A = this chain, B = another copy of it.
Amino acid sequence: MAKINDNGVLREANCSEELMAMRDSLDVLGGKWKLMILRFLTNRTHQVIHFKKMQREIDGISAKMLSKELKELEINLLISRAAQDTKPVTVVYAITEYGKSVLPVTETLVNWGITHREKIIESLK
| A interface, CB within 8 angstroms of B | 6, 8, 11-12, 15-16, 18-26, 28-30, 32, 35-36, 39-40, 43-44, 46-47, 57-59, 98, 101-102, 104-117, 119
Chain B residues, Cβ within 8 Å of A19: 36, 39-40, 58-59
Residue from A19, A24, A117 whose CB has the most chain B CB atoms within 10 Å: A19
Closest B residue, CB atoms, query A15:
B43
Per the bound structure, the CA–CA distance linking A44 and B58 in Å amounts to 38
Mostly helix, strand, loop or mixed at chain A's interface? helix
Other A-B contacts than A12-B57, A25-B109, A105-B108, 17 sampled, CB-CB below 8 A, are A6-B46, A16-B57, A18-B110, A19-B36, A20-B59, A21-B109, A22-B35, A22-B36, A23-B113, A25-B110, A25-B116, A26-B109, A28-B116, A29-B109, A98-B119, A101-B112, A102-B112
Closest B residue, CB atoms, query A18:
B110
Per the bound structure, the CA–CA distance linking A98 and B29 in Å amounts to 24
Chain B residues, Cβ within 8 Å of A47: 8
Chain B residues, Cβ within 8 Å of A32: 26, 30
Q: Closest CB of chain B to A108's CB: distance in Å? A: 4
Whether A21 contacts B119 in the complex (CB less than 8 A), given A43-B11, A57-B16, comes out as: no
